[in-house]
Amino acid sequence: MKPVPEGFSGASPYEIAERYAAGDIDRDAMIRELSAWPYPKNEGAAAAAAEWESTPYMDTPGSFAEVGRAFDEGLIDGDAYDQILDASDEVPEV
């Protein structure tokens, strides 16, 4: 089990979104924490984009892909996703 970094409500972006969906933290706290999260680069996505064949790559733990997954699964809404994306330094690679 990963420790929860100081200043955050969860050990990962997805866990923070889960806590928001469960009502453990409010919307402002969720957006603030996910906007400030130190997202690592998703090396798997970059490698997949560089290849012609579709080889599955696992997402890097703690990457912005977890925010996308939280949105896809209905834990956060589109407005929250956009605010987090605008505030973060990480731009998801397509």
pLDDT at 94 over 50: no
- How does pLDDT run across 16-46, given as a tens digit for each residue? 999 999 999 999 999 999 999 999 875 665 6
Task: In whole angstroms, give the CA distance from residue 27 to residue 48.
Answer: 33
Q: Are 4 and 57 in contact (CB under 8 A)?
A: no
Among the listed residues 57, 2, 43, the one whose alpha carbon sits nearest the alpha carbon of residue 14: 2
- What's the predicted TM-score (pTM) here? 0.79
In whole angstroms, give the CA distance from residue 11 to residue 33: 11
Higher pLDDT: 47 or 60? It is 60
Reference 38, options 62, 61, 14; nearest CA is 62
Tokens coding 60: 């890097």
